[in-house]
Structure 1
Amino acid sequence: MVPTDPAHILKSQDVVTGVARFLSNQQDPHVPGYVRYSASGDLFSDHQKTNLAGSIFALKLYAMLGETDQKRIQPIVDRVLSFQRPDGSFADPYVCKKRFIRNTLSSLKHRDLSNLGNQSYIRAETRQAYSALLLHHVLPHKVDANIPTTPQAIHTFLSRLDWTRPWGAGSHFSHLLFFLSLFKKTKKLTQEQYLEARSSACTFIASLQHEDGAWYTGNPSHRQKVNGAMKVISGLIVDDLPFEHPKELINLCLTQEATQTHDACDQINQILVLRYSTRLLNHPYHQEDINTFCQNALIQWGAYYFPEHGGFSFHKHRANDRYYSAKVSQGLNEPDIHGTILFVWGLSMMKQLLQTENLPNFHEIKS
């Protein structure tokens, strides 16, 4: 008998083999390490120096699949490393070019000089590249990032972010903690310097936390609060740092129905907040409500999965067409690697939330 559970397909181990098949099919046999962004609708004309994101996401997917075959991994590692710039940062020239004019005009309009020259994108992509490489025990010879490392500079940096929009501001907080931890590991910061810097960042972020658990100023939307909380928590968990009000954060997520989410980011951000708030409590809290929330989410996620391909789409029934505002695909009714990495990550975290569920065996990663 065919199962009637709409979420059944995502509870099957066939999803694991499907994702592995999708990842294999996305690779260009003529360009080692190149991994297509969408199944067939990419807009990149040159496979040599474009689509860094495809290779980064592939490394993360291989880590969650538990793949250790260096014949599969090394070409992708080499390709990611080829995008490193002399200053140690990573960026895709195609994305930088497509974003430059729009970002410059936006920065001048909003008097946000911090993002001139694609600085925000470069910081985010550099973090993505380093985190993907570290999952496979690879660290570039030159490790650097344009971030503050002294307590005063950190306070100034965080103060200048727009916390009325915590989704964006929280991402920069997350990048900051990631790089501070990386600098400690690579001896760019002493243990004492690292602890001082981390303390400055954590003291600042604690001052922004409200009784509903989220970190913000002003009156942001519920969506901004949840997604901003995800960004803050994704930085704190780099070194397993605790945070206050986990119960309130769980309540915040449970009040937002899964049907109100917009794309893969919204879907997975809720799960991460639930996952790490629950872990911090270390005892059951609204477990039945969380189970119901996750079951509803699985039903929603089924609409993003393409069994014939083995991958997920970023948007419901269509591939993502923009990456950091740069047009990268036609947005066809097909899966893309961006949606696939996010939903696989979500399934890996959901397995920890629903410990009795027979969900696919994906290895959980932190970012």
Structure 2
Amino acid sequence: MVLPSWTNDLNEKILGFLSKLEVRLQPGRYLPCVSGVTYQGKNVSLGFSCFALKIYYMLGHWDKLENEEQKKWISYIKSFQNHHVKNNYDPIKKYAFIDTFLIDYLESFRRKISKRKLLNKIFSISNDDEFLTNSQKAIIAETKQAIASLAEIGEFSDIPYCQFPNSEKKIVEYMEKFDWSKPWASGGQTSALTVFMELEGKRKIPTKEIISLQNATSSFFESIVDSDTGGYFSGDIPNHGMLVNGAMKVLTALDWLNVPIHFPEKLIDTTLSMLPKSDGCHLVDAVYVLHRCCQRTNYKRDTIKDYFISVLDMIRLHHNKDGGFSYNISSAQKSYYGLPISKGYNESDIHGTVLLTWALSMIFQFNNSGSDWKIIKP
């Protein structure tokens, strides 16, 4: 595969874009975009700091930073870990990484929704609640993001985050509560368990107990794998995007569990059956699934090469003159966990840039292009 010319000099272009997002005098703090950033986008920061760190790592630029700058950035991310545990009514928050601005927004929004649910209950309007609130889901996801980002550079949380089920039975019960007919969300939440067990639990919980929990998690994923598509779900086969994105989340978990993909060739066929939707998540998820499956088998490598050529053409449409990538074509990402972070102008954003840089790093490796870009472990 001959890489297109637009992929030349991407290091300098991407780093140039990131430099525009840096918040002065606050090492490690980044904005989501330049021109259309909202008030909320200026105040939320943990996730964007992790995204920027991952970009620096993938481009091989982290090691080129001054040691003092690295320390300040690491300290900035670690400053979000919640040490105020005595008055926490929600155990999920204990030693979690919490962006207060984001979580306060989600919790205030939930209080407004709760009034509506009370009226629904009074008038017997059926509406089954999910067992995790949006703020809890965000805390779990952001904590996983922070822990995995720190691990890329050999760092760990100050205090191990061990707020996950502590027995095989509880692990299975927890995983069964998710709606596996929608594996994208369910896979994302449950894959966090594997990061917490491997990077956090092993620092506090006896190894034998952790292995038992990991085995239970692995067995659950095996119980929902579909031998026809290679995907992980329950009920009817989801649409292509849901199926591939859900598989991507489970494959990240299997990687942390050191468990082989169950049906890599079937999953390759499923992914290749359709090009992904042209947004940051769909593009990188399809590439990741093929990347991981190719580590297990040489099946259809020529077809995968052609698929990646098409994906490169799609990614190019997200690359902008400012040097970065936009999550959507000609539009920066507008929300982050429901928080309005930008006005969606025609400009790059940090989330689109981290996702599509990651996608490119995997394509470059597949192509043996000699790139020194690194691949992250999410």
Task: Tell me the TM-score normalized by structure 2.
Answer: 0.87
The correspondence of residues 22-33 of structure 1 with structure 2, limited to 5 A, is 22-33=17-28
- Residue matched to 2:5: 8
Aligned to 2:302: 288
The superposition leaves residues 89-123 of structure 1 with CA deviations (integer Å, 9 ceiling, x where unpaired) of: 01222222332244563896753353237111100
Q: Does 1:78 align with 2:95?
A: no
Query: Could you tell me which residue of structure 1 aligns to residue 331 of structure 2?
Result: 318
Determine the structure 2 residue equivalent to 1:62: 56
Structure 2 residue aligned with 1:253: 271
Gaps of 5+ in 2: 84-93, 118-125
Query: Are the aligned partners of 1:149 and 1:180 in contact in 2 as well (CA < 8 Å)?
Result: no
Return the match for 1:164 from 137, 159, 181: 181
In 2, are the aligned partners of 1:59 and 1:77 still within 8 Å (CA)? Answer: no
Structure 1 residues 156 and 46: CA distance shift in structure 2, 3 A: closer
Contact 1:33 1:75 in 2 (8 A): yes
- Distance in 1 (CA, whole Å) between partners of 2:273 and 2:134 is 39
Whether the 8 Å CA contact 2:11–2:59 is kept in 1: the answer is yes
Give yes or no for the alignment of 1:238 onto 2:249: no
1:148 aligns with 2:161: no
CA contact (8 A) 2:40 2:339 kept: no
Task: Give the structure 1 partner of residue 319 of structure 2.
Answer: 305
Question: 1:257 & 1:22 partners in 2: Cα distance?
Answer: 28
Q: Distance in 2 between matches of 1:204 and 1:45?
A: 38
1:327 is aligned to 340
Q: 2:291 aligns with which of 272, 275, 283?
A: 275
Matched letter for residue 93 of structure 1: T
How many angstroms apart in 2 are the aligned matches of 1:311 and 1:117?
29
SS at match of 1:207: helix
Alignment of 1:334-345 (within 5 A): 334-345=347-358
In the alignment, residue 273 of structure 2 is paired with which amino acid? T
The one-letter amino acid of 1:9's match is W
Counterpart residue number, 2:244? 226
The question of 1:205 aligning with 2:221 is answered yes
Pairwise CA distance, 1:145: 4.2
- The one-letter amino acid paired with 2:243 is K
Matched, 1:193 2:209: yes
Identity percentage of aligned residues: 27
The aligned counterpart of 2:97 is: 90
Contact 2:40–2:340 (8 Å) recurs in 1: no
- Assess, with a 3 A threshold, how the Cα gap between structure 1 residues 110 and 128 changes in structure 2: closer, same or farther: farther
Q: CA RMSD in A?
A: 2.1
Q: CA deviation at 1:166?
A: 0.3
Q: Which moved more, 1:32-41 or 1:158-167?
A: 32-41
Is the contact between residue 89 and residue 145 of structure 1 (CA under 8 Å) also seen in structure 2?
Answer: no
Moved more, 322-331 or 346-355: 346-355
The answer on whether the counterparts of 2:96 and 2:143 sit within 8 Å (CA) in structure 1 is yes
Further displaced range: 319-328 or 85-94? 85-94
CA distance in 1, matches of 2:233, 2:22: 41
Q: Deviations over 1:184-241 (max 9, x none)?
A: 441x222211111011111111110112100101222121110000000011112432
Corresponding residue for 2:136?
119
Runs of 4+ in 1 over 4 A off after TM superposition: 101-104, 106-110
Contact between 1:103 and 1:115, CA under 8 Å: does it hold in 2? Answer: no
Deviation at 1:46, TM superposition (A): 8.9
Confirm or deny that 1:139 pairs with 2:156: yes
Give the number of equivalent residue pairs: 352
The gaps in structure 1 that reach 5 residues or longer are none
CA distance in 1, matches of 2:51, 2:160: 20
User: Pick from 185, 205, 215: which aligns with 2:232?
Assistant: 215
